[in-house]
């Protein structure tokens, strides 16, 4: 069960670091140190707004953690994919990054779907995966960008959210999932 949760997290979290990892390769008119900082801050602001809205409107309870996770991962993937055709417009790029952060509602699935005796372990794994992805994306994506161009390196991370959603759907099919998700699949 934890394997599926970790695979889902790993896939979905790749969204956060994709643009940050390729920023040094971008040579667009609007790129400045301030714009560079806003690329990261937009994701964080989106995450804060998304978390607050998810809590305020109890979205994980209303929709179910797996559905919220799947919807968030696919929304984030769409926002991330929107960066490629919109790369020449700082406001549109920042909007895409904000929506990417807004869509990052992954902890709900970890805390709800992990067996009670493993919630702490699952949350620790989630944090570790986040750090691992940070390290990998900031080290490997620039190397790939140098070799193949920033757009190819960026697209390398694109399948992550879709694979995360598939892992969530696989988790949903396990018999234990009904017990873990308050009787809902």
Cα torsion through 61, 62, 65, 68, rounded to 10: -140
Burial 56-94 (b: 16+ CB within 10 A, else e): eeebbeebbbbbbbbebbbbbbebbebbeeebeebeebb
Q: Is residue 34 scored above 80 in pLDDT? A: yes
* Per-residue pLDDT tens over the stretch 76-111: 888 877 877 777 788 888 898 898 888 666 666 666
* Per-residue pLDDT tens over the stretch 151-172: 777 676 667 777 777 777 777 7
Superfamily of domain 2-20+32-180: MFS general substrate transporter like domains (1.20.1250.20)
Number of alpha helices (DSSP H) and beta strands (DSSP E) in the chain: 11, 0
pTM score, two decimals? 0.71
What is the reported pLDDT for 25?
A: 67
- Averaged confidence pLDDT in the chain: 75
* Per-residue pLDDT tens over the stretch 116-156: 787 788 778 777 776 777 677 777 777 877 888 777 776 76
Sign of the CA dihedral running 14, 132, 34, 149: negative
What is the reported pLDDT for 38?
A: 86
Contact between 94 and 42 (Cβ < 8 Å): yes
């Amino acid at each position: 069960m934890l394997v599926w949760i970790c695979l889902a997290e790993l896939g979905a979290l790749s969204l956060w670091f994709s643009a940050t990892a390729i920023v040094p390769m971008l040579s667009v008119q609007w790129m400045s140190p301030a714009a560079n900082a806003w690329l990261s801050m937009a994701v964080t602001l989106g995450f804060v707004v998304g978390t607050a809205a998810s809590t305020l409107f109890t979205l994980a309870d209303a929709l179910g953690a797996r559905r919220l996770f799947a919807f968030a991962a696919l929304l984030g993937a769409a926002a991330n994919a929107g960066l490629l055709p919109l790369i020449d417009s700082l406001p549109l790029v920042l909007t895409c990054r904000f929506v990417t952060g807004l869509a990052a509602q992954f902890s709900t699935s970890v805390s709800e779907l992990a067996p009670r005796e493993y919630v702490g372990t699952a949350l620790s794994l989630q944090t570790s995966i986040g750090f691992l992805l940070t390290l990998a994306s900031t080290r490997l994506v620039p190397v790939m960008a140098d070799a193949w161009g920033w757009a190819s390196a960026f697209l390398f991370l694109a399948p992550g959210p879709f694979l995360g959603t598939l892992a969530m759907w696989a988790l949903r099919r396990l018999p234990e999932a009904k017990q873990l998700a308050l009787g809902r699949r």
